[in-house]
Amino acid sequence: MTSEGIASDQTEAVLGDYDVIIIGAGPAGLSAGIYASRAGLECVILEKGVPGGQVITSPMIENYPGFAEVPGMKLMETMAEHARRYVDIKEGEEVLRVRAGEKFELGTSSGRYTCKAIILATGSSHRKLGVPGEEGMTGKGVSYCATCDGFFYKGKEVVVVGGGNTALTDALYLVSIGCKVTIIHRRAEFRADQHLQLSVKQHKIPVMMDTVAEEIVEGEEVTGIKLRNISTGVVKTMPVNGVFVAVGEVPSSQLAAELGLEMDPGGFITVDRSFRTSVPFVYAAGDVSGGIRQIVAAVHGGAAAALSCFEDLMNPYYRKI
């Protein structure tokens, strides 16, 4: 482990020394906290905002086992309440810097923490279109998760904006549950894998190439989307009930970069099957590690990362790495 490039103020108060510090209190971080604490590790969860992550913005969750239908906020409140039985969650405690040495040092606006291991559960954020109406209509017709919200648009007109694997997968999923789908893509060709492009053709999903979203028509709910053809400059408004945005994710991997972790070209942290990263005693789970970005997958990743951490800290041979 290296300590180059990361400065810390040794005069800062040490607010706590732990076996493992979990950064982020979304589904992955909360799950990691429960499993780490139950394994006997001294741990804390540091969360820059409030527990829940992106899930709290979802009006309704219908694909999390055990909850046929539950608001995202309610689901995460339940998870956080459960986690607090085992582990302290420090809200509003953003980790601003991290240094690897004999122990890890984490600097926050409040002071300094030290630990033997770190679990990064910092999540990711959806890349936005940045057009008028998008923010105001989020949760009211604008969605970033087809598998989360698609059911509400069965039999309705929707568009999927994007041209990569996620966009085409979302379109195929929405068609499979009975939505009337059109794909909007700003380029002349898709970037998605060929088998997905073939599936779109086989399902006869309408596609509008060389087209960009200019505005989402606001009301009590989405009523339409204003589109502009890049080649002709023609602008038209398409009546729709839903807009599914699939133009990419931005992982919150700044701390991973400071630690020198291996990441893929998109900035997602590379992990093995046990959620170990390229640096010993650093683990990553949830959206920041890529993969299937679903709540159930994040919960699994958090639990697995915590158990891997426990195994490594208890292994005297691994400890010498």
Instruction: Report, as residue numbers or ranges, the catalytic residues.
Output: 145, 148-149
* Pairwise CA distance, residues 162 & 169, whole Å: 11
How open is the CA angle 241-125-292, to the nearest 5 degrees? Answer: 85
* Pairwise CA distance, residues 206 & 183, whole Å: 6
Contact criterion met (CB below 8 Å) for 140 and 222: yes
Residue 147 phi/psi, 5-degree rounding, is -70, -25
Contact criterion met (CB below 8 Å) for 22 and 106: no
* Pairwise CA distance, residues 321 & 316, whole Å: 10
Residue 21 phi/psi, 5-degree rounding, is -110, 130
Residue 111 corresponds to which tokens in the numbers above?
């002071």
Helix (H) or strand (E) holding 165: helix 165-176
